[in-house]
Structure 1
């Protein structure tokens, strides 16, 4: 996708992080910007900022885990702007802890946002984009789904998050292949960031209320370690957003914030191909693994 001016971008998780940074670039590129987010106050402030950059903005308060709400977003986009050209299925939540300690509600929440939010976006917007491509020979479009390096690795004490992001990578690779079967003018990418300061470590502020159990010891450890890793990240969300737009221009599928982390992915894939037991994920940084073990044992989360 080479041209952005006068075209339409739809971004979920648009009030912060990668979503907001991509909205800023979209506005500078002359795009019409649809901004969707679950936090109404943050969305209002973000939409005002993007309008001030000169863009036409449609804000939409949205819980991406709800099929009907994503369908309503699609209808609103079609009515206001027609089929979008750039769809960024970006909304996501982070949540750590030992995998057996996640409640059923936690699984529903994380998979609902991280996986079903992407699935709903693909289901709603891809047919609109294909229809536009059939009707307009100049139409071109691109779908970007936000996964994570956790979609290519399996870091301990991050079970439900890992599962959700592996599923997004699989969904995105299949989307890319399926689109190639039917069109040359719409493509897809998957964004796999590592630790980037975005605010995802504060996701449990949106954890469903009601009968949800208090955070377990391992979940509290996971939150603390995630906060430290995320807030100390040196690659910015703005830099990652630039990589997203570069990927669309070059029709690049895999988008990495930290390409150096692919050495860990390679070791994991070698384990898979050679039938070896999973290796030590902290082999290159043993101090981090020891810190996690010590924190879990101090918190009483282990059987030792």
Structure 2
């Protein structure tokens, strides 16, 4: 999909970070925007910024883990603009804990946002996009954690691996039907965003631990957590990620890898699997 002028983009997690970066680039391409985020106040400010620059845009406060709210997002998008041409399922959260300490509430929250946020949107948007028969593109935000696995991120790793394989299956399902809708899965490495502080959105989602005691953080988890925060702080800018996304849309590229140097990590993982050996611990 090369000509984006006047077409409609729906972007979740759009009030900041990668989502906002993609929205800025979409607006620069002349697209109309439907922006969704759980943080209503921040979303309102973001929408106001775009309107001040003459962009046709609406904001819809949305918890993507809620099928009902995603359906409402789709209804508003189609009602306002008629069709959707670019669907970016980008909202994401993370919890840093070893697998045995992750509570059911941790799993429900991370999988609810990162994975079910994607599947809810596919059900809500794709049938109508197919019915319109126009060119379209779906971008699902996974992570390098969807192609490799890091310690203390069991819930995050699982959710992002799931996004990758759903995206692969979606690509096949649409291609077999000769659809004009293409698919990309975004697998960024370290990007300068607020994902390391995503717990701030957990209260808004009502996804707390229901009074469960939080285990003391051990030295290993603390060290991993500090390494992750440092890597995020030193990450690439969101504008660079957005450029990669729109290059992939124009060239119909499926896998979007923002850090070429991380390809070696993917190769090592594949070799571990083929050699049937224990997974190699990769440096953060």
Report the Cα offset of residue 204 of structure 1: 1.1
Residues 215 and 241 of structure 1, relative CA distance in 2, 3 Å threshold: farther
Mapped to 2, the partners of 1:106 and 1:216 lie a distance apart of: 16
* 2:151 is equivalent to residue 149 of structure 1: no
1:53 deviates by 2.2
* Local SS of the residue matching 1:197: coil
* Residue matched to 1:279: 280
Q: Find the residue that maps to 1:64 and give its secondary structure.
A: coil
- Larger-Rg structure: 1
Determine the structure 1 residue equivalent to 2:226: 224
- Give the conservation status (yes or no) of the 8 Å contact 1:264–1:281: yes
Structure 2 equivalent of residue 298 of structure 1:
none
Shift of 1:281: 2.3
Equivalent of residue 168 in structure 1, options 163, 167, 171: 163
Give the Cα–Cα distance (whole angstroms) in 1 for the partners of residues 123 and 215 of structure 2: 33
Residues 81-160 of structure 1 aligned to structure 2 (within 5 Å): 81-133=81-133, 139-160=134-155
Q: Distance in 1 between matches of 2:162 and 2:180?
A: 25
Q: Which runs of 5+ in 2 are unaligned?
A: none
Distance 2:280 2:29 in 1: 45
Can you list the C-alpha shifts for 1:64-121, whole angstroms capped at 9, x where unaligned? 0000100111111111111200000000002211111000100000000000001111
CA distance in 1, matches of 2:42, 2:212: 25
User: Corresponding residue for 2:27?
Assistant: 27
* TM-score normalised to structure 2 length: 0.94
Report the secondary structure of 2:100's partner residue: helix
Q: Which runs of 5+ in 1 are unaligned?
A: 134-138, 283-287, 289-304
2:17 aligned residue: 17
Aligned positions, number: 277
CA offsets, 1:145-199, max 9 Å, x none?
0000000001111111100000000011111111101134110000000111011
**SS of match in other structure, 2:88:** strand
Structure 1 position 247 matched with structure 2 position 242? no
Separation of aligned partners in 2, 1:66 and 1:222 = 31
1:5 and 2:5 matched: yes
Q: Which residue does 2:191 correspond to in 1?
A: 196
**CA distance, structure 2, for counterparts of residue 213 and residue 66 of structure 1:** 26
- In the other structure, the counterpart of 1:77 is 77
8 Å Cα contact 2:12/2:19 also seen in 1? yes
Give the Cα–Cα distance (whole angstroms) in 1 for the partners of residues 213 and 177 of structure 2.
46
Q: 1:36 to 1:212 in 2, by over 3 A?
A: farther
